[in-house]
Amino acid sequence: MWHGGGQVEAELLAGAYESTPKCADEHDCQSIAFKAISTGIFGYSLQAATDIAIKTVRENCACRSTPTRVIFKCFSDEVLESYRHSASGFDI
C-alpha cells in the first residue's frame, strides 16, 4: 500500500518478489508466475510497481539456473504495456 513513499513501500513490494525465484531454484521449477502486485489498487504508481517487479525478479533470477520462465499476470492492457516498457529486451 502506498503511503507517500516514506514507509519503505518499495522495499516491501520488492520483498513480495524476492523469495520466489530462490524457492523455484531449490525445487527445480522451470517457471514461476506472479500477479501484477500493486498495479491497480492501494495508490501505488503503476510504472513504479512494474519497475520494481521486473528489477527484483531479474536480479533474483540472474544467478540461478531455474526458473527459465517468469509469467506476470496483467489485469488490463495498461498494466501489460507498463510491464512491456519495464521489461524491454524480455519476452512479455
43: alpha, beta or left? (left if phi > 0; alpha if psi -120 to 50):
left
- For residue 22, give the C-alpha cell: 530462490
40, part of any domain: yes
Query: Which tens digits make up the pLDDT trace of 33-64?
Result: 999 888 877 788 999 999 999 999 988 888 78
* Structural domain span for residue 28: 9-86
Whether 91 is in a domain gets the answer no
Provide the whole-model pTM: 0.85
- 15: domain CATH number is 3.40.220.10
pLDDT of residue 25: 87
Question: What pLDDT sits at residue 89?
Answer: 65
**4 within some domain:** no
The number of domains in the chain is 1
48 occurs within a structural domain: yes
Q: Is residue 92 part of a domain?
A: no
Instruction: Find the helix or strand (DSSP H, E) in which 20 lies.
Output: helix 9-26
